[in-house]
Amino acid sequence: MSEFFHMGGYAFYVWGSVGVTAVVMIAVAVSAILKHRRELCRISRRLRRERKSV
């Protein structure tokens, strides 16, 4: 198991690469999800305002 983490001495490079990849991919995905959610909130807030003012 520790050999797996050690990666033959290249641990920093291999896990660094996997780490950077994971962080960037997660960040991009999260930003897309947040954008979608933000739009939904904005629209529902506007709809509620319109219904109240009717």
Partner 1 sequence: MNSFMKWFHKWGSPPWFYRVSGKMLPWLTGLFVITLVYGLYAGLVLAPADYQQGDSFRIIYVHVPAAWMGMFIYMVMAAAALVHLVWRMKMADVVLISSAPIGAAFAFIALVTGSLWGKPMWGTWWTWDARLTSELLLLFIYLGIIALHSAVEDRQSAGRATAVLTLVGVVNIPIIHYSVVWWNTLHQGTTVARLDGPAMAPEMLWPLLSMAFAFKLYYVIVMMLSARGEVLARETKSRWVRELVGGK
> Whole-angstrom Cα distance, residue 16 to residue 6?
12
For residue 7, count other CB atoms closer than 10 A to its CB.
Answer: 13
Rule CB under 8 A: choose which of 2, 8, 53, 54 binds partner 1.
8
Q: Where are the alpha helices (DSSP H) in 1-54?
A: 2-6, 11-53
How many residues bind partner 1, per CB under 8 A?
32
2 binds partner 1 (CB under 8 A): no
Residues making contact with partner 1 (CB under 8 A): 4, 7-10, 13-14, 16-18, 20-21, 24-25, 27-29, 31-33, 35-40, 42-44, 46-47, 51
